Structure 1
Amino acid sequence: MRLIHTHTVRFTGAALAAIPLALGALTSPSSAQEPSPSPTGTFGSGCSALSQKADTAKDKVVDAAAAYPQLSQLVSAAVRAHLTDTLNDKSDVTVFAPDNDAFKKVSASQLSSLLSDEGQLKKVLTYHVVDQKITPDQLSDGSFTTVEGGKLTTSGSGSDFKVNGKANIVCGNIKAANATIYVVDSVLQPPS
């Protein structure tokens, strides 16, 4: 008698485990296809690796970027191009900030050439800046005019976004007093 009871319990447990699986298969395809909501806070796979020296929400954008050791090359380039005051004086801008690893992807000769040509450096750096606040919900299918004058596009969903179809946003929605910062893993090139 006990042997029969054991089989019944095993069968019942297996049947109960199968019910949620069967119910999951009955959900409508439209709910499975809905895009995930945009993040409201800081997001991205690279945020945990992005260390900062202080809270940046009250700092102007260049000072805020300087608080992140991973953005030191960008800050150095902005200083070299004499953009610090220009960027700090703007209000509600968005900066797609290449991290130090992004600069490593540029060949040594290209980087040297860029850093020695202030006009070209300014052109490249201002291509990373949009003269408006861009929120995460605008990133899924965005097209924006940069301070340089060219267009850049954003695409993606959830917390997975790209700029110009190539550069990944590794940490986004970082707040500064006058800017929103999205850290990207590639240096963006303005259209020629």
Structure 2
Amino acid sequence: MNTKLRTRSMGLAALALTASMGLAACGSEDDTTSASDETTSSASPSESMSESPMESESAEPASDAPFGPGCSGVPTDPSDPGSVEGMAQDPVATAASNNPLLKTLTAAVKEAGLVDTLNSTDNLTVFAPTDDAFAAIPKKDLNALLADKEALTKVLTHHVIGERLSPEDVAGEHETLAGDMLTVDGSGEDFTIGDASVVCGNVQTANATVYVVDQVLMPQM
């Protein structure tokens, strides 16, 4: 009788030990799963943070893009020859003729016979007065200037520098194609030439960099 009881007790003990080990194994799997979930969860913010600087960089404007309030008057359709993209395909006199801000300048360049000179010369910087800039000149004086080819040529070439100047290099004193000097003040996206201001700068054409200005720059005659 004692032998049967002993055998039964040993069997129950073995069963209890087996059950205990099974529960421990389950607990170990749960802990591993939980730790894995925590690792994945903690990695997500890090991965998100690593993506943020890239997104921030892509949102920054290109450093070689045109700038200034006057650029809003330039066509935005890339297929338009007067757009920034369109102007980049043509030499400067042709590019200016397609820009709606520069119709009077285009007429003056033709009147002075400078179209071929400007289109065929490499690496220029052109300060291009808007139509409003020419309109600010008394009509009588503007008509007299347009009728005097020599004076008109001097005024127009006073707006042209014989090297291509980026926004980082445009400030300073530069010799013009008229043979005189032009002083540009400012930095960044804020430049002036005397009382004139650059209203749309760093516009690229095939052979020149254009800075559209709000006044006609008059040389000493």
Does TM, normalized by the shorter one, top 0.5? yes
Match of 1:148 in 2: 178
Match of 1:50 among 74, 80, 90: 74
Describe how 1:71-150 pairs up with structure 2 within 5 A: 71-139=102-170, 141-150=171-180
SS across alignment from 1:188: coil
TM-score (norm 2): 0.66
Match status 1:64 vs 2:95? yes
Match of 2:209 among 168, 180, 183: 180
CA shift digits 1:53-77 (9 cap, x unpaired): 3211120101110111110100000
SS across alignment from 1:153: strand
Structure of larger gyration radius: 2
CA–CA distance in 1 between the matches of 2:192 and 2:142?
Answer: 23
RMSD: 1.5
2:93, 2:119 within 8 Å by CA — same for their partners in 1? yes
- Count, aligned residues: 153
1:51, 1:70 within 8 Å by CA — same for their partners in 2? no
Match status 1:166 vs 2:189? no
Match of 2:53 in 1: none
CA shift digits 1:96-115 (9 cap, x unpaired): 00010100111111101100
Give 1 or 2: higher helix fraction: 2
CA–CA distance in 1 between the matches of 2:175 and 2:109?
Answer: 20
CA–CA distance in 1 between the matches of 2:72 and 2:143?
Answer: 30
CA–CA distance in 2 between the matches of 1:186 and 1:51?
Answer: 21
Give the counterpart letter for 1:98 in structure 2: P
2:73, 2:100 within 8 Å by CA — same for their partners in 1? no
Where does the alignment leave 5 or more consecutive residues of structure 1 unmatched? 1-38
1:70, 1:99 within 8 Å by CA — same for their partners in 2? yes
CA shift digits 1:27-84 (9 cap, x unpaired): xxxxxxxxxxxx5311111111233732111201011101111101000000000000
Match of 1:40 among 64, 67, 71: 64
User: RCO (CA 8 Å, sep 6+): is it higher in 1 or 2?
Assistant: 1
Seq. identity, %: 44
CA–CA distance in 2 between the matches of 1:168 and 1:160?
Answer: 8
Deviation at 1:173, TM superposition (A): 0.6
1:77, 1:121 within 8 Å by CA — same for their partners in 2? yes
CA–CA distance in 2 between the matches of 1:157 and 1:85?
Answer: 32
CA–CA distance in 2 between the matches of 1:51 and 1:119?
Answer: 33
TM-score (norm 1): 0.76
